[in-house]
Structure 1
Amino acid sequence: MTIRLKLELASGQSLEGAPLELLADGKPIARGIVDQSGEVAFAAKPGQAQLAVRVDRSILPR
């Protein structure tokens, strides 16, 4: 199964190249990189879990 997301920051900053993790019940199950249009896709196995996305904010400009 593929989970696709489009990320948009209110500040207008781009997240292109940002490494993201898809979490299921708090555990990482997939990784992805944000593309130039702000989209990322994760390959994950079907199942029931609470999903979340974690962004490595250390790469963002300050």
Structure 2
Amino acid sequence: MNNQQQTGKAEKVASKLINKLALTELELANREVDIDELNARIQQLTQVNQQLKSQQNKSAEEKEAA
């Protein structure tokens, strides 16, 4: 195998590794977006849950007062 063939083969291997790394980084970025969306949804649900508990407590207090 001459130098040109070795260089060509090395470039192909390097290109494959770069593509694999880029794909891995994209997958990680997608997971981060998913996690951010899930965290936002959890915050929304927590707020709604707190509001519901507050309403339930209010209803219970009104029943006791009646």
Q: What's the TM-score bracket when you normalise by the shorter of the two chains? A: under 0.3
Where relative contact order (Cα < 8 A, 6+ residues apart) is larger, the structure is: 1
Report the TM-score, using the length of structure 2 for normalisation.
0.15
Larger Rg over CA atoms: 2
Report the TM-score, using the length of structure 1 for normalisation.
0.15
Per residue, is there more strand in 1 or in 2? 1
Per residue, is there more helix in 1 or in 2? 2
